[in-house]
Amino acid sequence: MSLAEFEIIAKYFAAQAGERTDVALGIGDDAAVLDVDPDRKLVLAMDTIVAGVHFLEDADPFDIGYRALAVNLSDLAAMGAVPSWMALSLSMPAADERWLERFAAGLFELARAHDVHLIGGDTVRGPLVVTVQVGGWVENDRWLTRDGARAGDALFVSGVPGEAAAGLALLREHAASGAAVEHLRARFLRPEPRIALGRALRTRASAAMDISDGLLTDLHKLCAASGCGARLEVERLPVSPAASERFDEEAWLSFALGGGDDYELLFTIPAAHAAELDSKTLEGIGVCRIGVMTESRTVECFHRGQPFVPASTGYDHFAKP
Amino acid sequence: MSLAEFEIIAKYFAAQAGERTDVALGIGDDAAVLDVDPDRKLVLAMDTIVAGVHFLEDADPFDIGYRALAVNLSDLAAMGAVPSWMALSLSMPAADERWLERFAAGLFELARAHDVHLIGGDTVRGPLVVTVQVGGWVENDRWLTRDGARAGDALFVSGVPGEAAAGLALLREHAASGAAVEHLRARFLRPEPRIALGRALRTRASAAMDISDGLLTDLHKLCAASGCGARLEVERLPVSPAASERFDEEAWLSFALGGGDDYELLFTIPAAHAAELDSKTLEGIGVCRIGVMTESRTVECFHRGQPFVPASTGYDHFAKP
């Protein structure tokens, strides 16, 4: 019998996690929050990427190093935290110097951009699996979680979810270059952690998370954590001029709703403040109102007023085939 | 060209680690030490174990879960720290419920024994690779590092290094059970992190590290970090009654000097206090004086007064075959 990822975590790990008064927020959100300093909270995230699952087998090692850190910074962004240091665990089949040089270049390019210091880790022989753990800080009075959304809050997304999945599809088919193709590939290969946006949302959003497994899958998680539902207006999703050059609407909606890897932020804003933000930019990133939170405890999609059933709902590592 | 593990870390990672004032101790010791609280230091370790490298392919998942945490707690012991929480990254090929139940049982048995809380992590599909990150605390005034040994300090080891390697050899040859075999196998399968011993050494030892890659390999690392050498008296190594039932002296010395996996502590004591500790027990663990630190910057082995050349010097993940 195959379990979904959240069932594995709930059944085998969260149930036995233990109790400590210095753990302000444990398993179940984008990162853990620890009470270690009277003046601020420590935020810790740890994510693993695997060849053939999170990146293509023939990926440029630069992009692997970049991604290993980016996915973790994205978790800190979703908490409203500022990153501070990282630890790296690198399992690799051999010590290939060209590979290592490119990997380190990608890792540290992003690390320098966010002033993240490498404090240690482990280097072992094994299959190519990269784990990064990132630590950072958030103010005591307010950090972002998945569980604060309430019925009536407006549902927002940053950037253009779906472009990363479109870029991955183009990489897989070895599409010929061109401006649109380059743009979409870059969205997959170099996701930009929304740290500054997360900081700006810290005092504005009622709930937030990053989109890593697909908008709908992650929206379900946000709804479950918050004990509410959502009504998503599909025609409100941000449009991608680049993707519209290459894909029809059906393919695009499948990327936008089901494709992961965007590392954009999904967040909710109390109704009274929703209009101020709709279709604006915050910290240089477009944010877009795509729906409303409901009491229904389900996620309902509508397309131009009609109920809409998406073709793909997102990624689960251990879903039944 | 193949690089040794320490060369990889130095060339590609330590050189670009960055600078932050809140990092009291970065890459190169058993764990990192962070300045995050006026009253104490945060100690973070992260270690990865891989099937076929750190444990046998057919290992009981209980022992894999136990080991994934034990190797990290051992790093905290080597710093003199008290563990507090852990994050788990689990890459596994499928969600096998029997496997998960045994893995979690082993992980949490050790976690409960040390009051370690699971705060989060990641669960992904991939080859079997387990990374654990452990956080803990140590007093501001003193923590243990590898770099404090001085010529003239006495060299000590805890427990009986070599028993784990002997146990692994017996597991590999599927040796018939018996008290000696059971004892040695348990030393490999269930290493006991020396947390209490590390705490007792915090104010006594001039340097300390845990033995994971083999006594001689790790002694070289301690000497390099401290800028000194060591003279090791091989006949002073702790004896193993269990191993002597199964192995001749040559095989035993190869285990004791070159076999890793013991997770005992290797430490140095200023000469004036060495006699107080020699062949005593501290926190229930035998500690044994096995040599002396020297000015030579090399590690020399002697056996009953004669220079001794060991057959095996330890483990390096990326050593040339």
**Residue entry with tokens 């992590």:** B121
Query: Measured between CA atoms, how close is A176 to chain B, in angstroms?
Result: 30
Give the pLDDT of residue A11: 82
Nearest to B122 among A48, A85, A126 (CB): A48
Q: For residue A168, give the H/E element and its range.
A: helix A163-172
* Length of chain A measured in residues: 321
Distance CA B194, CA A129 (A): 29
In whole angstroms, give the CA distance from residue B34 to residue A120.
11
Please determine, for residue A300, whether its predicted confidence score (pLDDT) is greater than 60: yes
- Do residues B67 and B100 lie in contact, with contact meaning Cβ atoms separated by under 8 Å? no
Amino acid letter for position B212: S
- Contact in structure between B218 and B212 (CB atoms under 8 Å): yes
SS (H, E, C) chain B: CCCCHHHHHHHHHHHHCCCCCCEEECCCCCCEEEEEECCEEEEEEEEEEEECCCECCCCCHHHHHHHHHHHHHHHHHHHCCEEEEEEEEEEECCCCHHHHHHHHHHHHHHHHHCCCEEEEEEEEECCCEEEEEEEEEEECCCCCCCCCCCCCCEEEEECCCCHHHHHHHHHHCCCCCCHHHHHHHHHHHCCCCCHHHHHHHCCCCCEEEECCCCHHHHHHHHHHHHCCEEEEEHHHCCCCHHHHHHCCHHHHHHHHHHCCCCCCEEEEECHHHHHHHCCEEECCEEEEEEEEEECCCCEEEEECCEECCCCCCCCCCCCCC
pLDDT band at A320 (very low <50, low <70, confident <90, very high): low
Number of other residues whose CB lies within 10 A of the CB of residue B179: 10
pLDDT in tens, B94-134: 989 999 999 999 999 999 999 999 999 999 999 999 999 99
pLDDT digits (tens, 9 = 90+) for A92-126: 999 899 999 999 999 999 999 999 999 999 999 99
Tally Cβ neighbours within 10 Å of residue B59: 17
Task: Please judge whether A119 and B23 are an interchain contact, meaning their C-beta atoms are less than 8 angstroms apart.
Answer: yes
In the DSSP assignment, the letter for residue A51 is B
| Contact partners, residue A177, CB within 8 Å, separation at least 6 | none
Would you state the pLDDT for residue A12? 84
> What is the pLDDT, as a whole number, of residue B278?
86
| Distance between CA atoms of residues A315 and A259, nearest Å | 8
Indicate yes or no: CB of A118 within 8 angstroms of CB of B27.
yes
Confidence (pTM): 0.93
List, in sequence order, every beta strand (DSSP E) within A199-270: 207-210, 229-233, 265-269
User: What's the CA gap between B8 and A321, in Å, rounded?
Assistant: 39
Confidence of residue A7 (pLDDT cuts 50, 70, 90): confident
Q: Does domain B15-139 have CATH number 1.10.600.10?
A: no
CA B273 to chain centre: 24
In Å, how far is B260's CA from the nearest CA of chain A?
14
pLDDT at A321 over 50: no
The interface pTM score, or ipTM, of the predicted complex is 0.91
Please provide the average confidence, as pLDDT, over all residues in chain B.
Answer: 92
How many residues would you count in chain B? 321
Coil/strand/helix, residue A258: helix
Which CA distances in Å does B91 have to A309, A318, B10, B130, B303?
Answer: 32, 11, 27, 6, 45
Number of helices and strands in chain A (H, E): 10, 14
Domain A5-139 carries which CATH code?
3.30.1330.10
Measured between beta carbons, the chain B residues lying within 8 angstroms of A126 are: 48, 50-53, 127, 129
Question: In angstroms, what separates the C-alpha of B128 from chain A's closest C-alpha?
Answer: 9
Chain B residues with beta carbon closer than 8 angstroms to that of A10: none
At the top level of CATH, which class does the domain B154-307 belong to? alpha beta
